[in-house]
């Protein structure tokens, strides 16, 4: 399948799907960097993640929803999760556009019982108390802290869990987040058109 390169905010994205994610990040107030640096993986191959999200301290990879479960999808998961298993960096993979909301995080975690690798579905939203961009692990009911690595250079990832019913999915995916998703999905880039903004 041949993808269409798409220009947005002075960047030439490799696909419209990537550009739609950039639109979503902007509409939600999530800072992003496009293809900022390459990474050497544990098998000595090179990998260039699509985005780096400074607010979440995570790399972010985008794939079409149709590749989920395929060899291409599994290879993409292996690449974005490699930093977790080598304890070097954290990553998120998204299958589809923001409206599909099919994201998985690969990072480290710690709680009273210990620490280890963490991989679960998440969503991008706004924290109900601060309205700052935040990740929400909606299937996890435990209280825990999320980290990029266990090294001294580790950073905390702003992510909340369901924590025995303290938060719900709708607390994080507010009307503003849903509208940002819609703006991203409906974005058209032909003839210099610019995506709408949330009001």
Tokens matching residue 90 = 């954290």
pLDDT band at 35 (very low <50, low <70, confident <90, very high): very high
Percent of the chain predicted with pLDDT > 70? 94
Three-class secondary structure of residue 67 per DSSP: helix
In this structure, of 17-26, 47-56, 141-150, the range with the lowest mean pLDDT score is 141-150
Distance, in Å, from the CA atom of 151 to the CA atom of 177, rounded to the nearest integer, reads 33
Q: What is the mean pLDDT of residues 169-195?
A: 87
Residue pair 21/184 in contact (Cβ under 8 Å)? The answer is yes
pLDDT score recorded for residue 165? 79
Q: Which residue has the higher pLDDT, 152 or 111?
A: 152
Percent of the chain predicted with pLDDT > 90? 83
This prediction has a pTM of 0.92
Q: What is the mean pLDDT of residues 21-44?
A: 96
Q: Which residue has the higher pLDDT, 152 or 105?
A: 105
Q: Which residues pair with 125 in a beta bridge?
A: 134
pLDDT score recorded for residue 34? 97
Q: Which residues pair with 8 in a beta bridge?
A: 11
Q: What is the mean pLDDT of residues 174-190?
A: 93
- Check pLDDT > 80 for residue 192: no
pLDDT score recorded for residue 198? 41
Q: Which residues pair with 39 in a beta bridge?
A: 47
pLDDT band at 131 (very low <50, low <70, confident <90, very high): very high
- Check pLDDT > 90 for residue 79: yes
Beta strand ranges found along 96-172 (DSSP E): 103-111, 114-126, 133-137, 145-147, 159-161
- Check pLDDT > 80 for residue 47: yes
């Amino acid at each position: 399948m041949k993808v269409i390169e798409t220009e947005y905010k002075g960047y030439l994205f490799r696909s419209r799907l990537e550009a739609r994610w950039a639109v979503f990040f902007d509409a939600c107030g999530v800072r992003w960097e496009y293809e900022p640096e390459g990474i050497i993986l544990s098998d000595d191959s090179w990998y260039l993640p699509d985005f780096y999200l400074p607010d979440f301290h995570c790399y972010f990879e985008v794939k079409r929803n149709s590749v989920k479960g395929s060899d291409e999808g599994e290879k993409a998961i292996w690449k974005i999760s490699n930093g977790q298993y080598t304890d070097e960096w954290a990553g998120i993979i998204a299958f589809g556009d923001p409206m599909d909301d099919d994201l998985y995080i690969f990072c480290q975690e710690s709680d009273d019982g210990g620490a280890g690798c963490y991989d679960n579905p998440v969503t991008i939203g706004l924290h109900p108390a601060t309205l700052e961009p935040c990740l929400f692990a909606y299937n996890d009911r435990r209280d825990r802290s999320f980290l990029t690595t266990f090294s001294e250079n580790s950073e905390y990832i702003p992510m909340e869990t369901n924590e025995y019913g303290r938060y719900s999915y709708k607390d994080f995916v507010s009307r503003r987040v849903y509208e940002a998703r819609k703006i991203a999905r409906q974005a058209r880039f032909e003839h210099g058109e610019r995506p709408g903004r949330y009001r």
